[in-house]
Amino acid sequence: MRVQDPFQRSKRSRPALSDKDEKIKVGDLDGKIVEEEAVRSLNEQLNESPAFKSSARILILVLLAQARSMSSVELRTLTGLGKGSLENHLNKLEGFGFVGISNSKSIGARGSPMRMVEITEKGLSACRALVKSISSLTL
């Protein structure tokens, strides 16, 4: 006996390509249109900005949007990224204008200045727009 995968989508749950592809109750039409627009909006955001091509960069932006400013050590701890990988992502985010990086005057554990990362208004706006698009999807 074959057990159906509960996560596999049936043909009925796929968005219709035209009115002929699937019969939709009139009451369901508004929900499908809104959902399709939300998915389209999210897809456009993810494809338009190279910053969103990496889940690590999205996570970094979300963390910074919540805290506004963090040290690179805190970001490494929370993301699980190595030092080089984090620096690469931070440099890209800085290049997009989403974060600012500075060396703080306080001394880190090894006697070197701590690198502080702060989200910019541009980064905060981009992160808010992305979260809004994701929030508008129904699961």
| Predicted confidence (pLDDT) at residue 12 exceeds the cutoff of 70 | no
Report the amino acid identity of residue 131: V
Determine the pLDDT at residue 63.
Answer: 97
Q: What percent of the chain stands above pLDDT 90?
A: 50
What does pTM read for this prediction?
A: 0.70
Structure-block tokens of residue 135: 């929030």
pLDDT at residue 9, rounded to an integer: 46
What single DSSP character describes residue 112? Answer: S
Two tokens, residue 17: 């390509």
* CA–CA gap between residue 47 and residue 59 (Å, rounded): 17
The domain defined by 27-135 folds into: Arc Repressor Mutant, subunit A (1.10.10)
- 25-44 per-position pLDDT tens digit: 444 555 566 678 888 888 88
CB 115 within 8 A of CB 134: no
Give the N- to C-terminal CA distance of the chain in Å, as an integer.
Answer: 29
pLDDT band at 65 (very low <50, low <70, confident <90, very high): very high
Both tokens of 37, joined, read: 């627009």
pLDDT of residue 39: 86
What backbone phi and psi angles, to 5 degrees, belong to 72? -65, -30
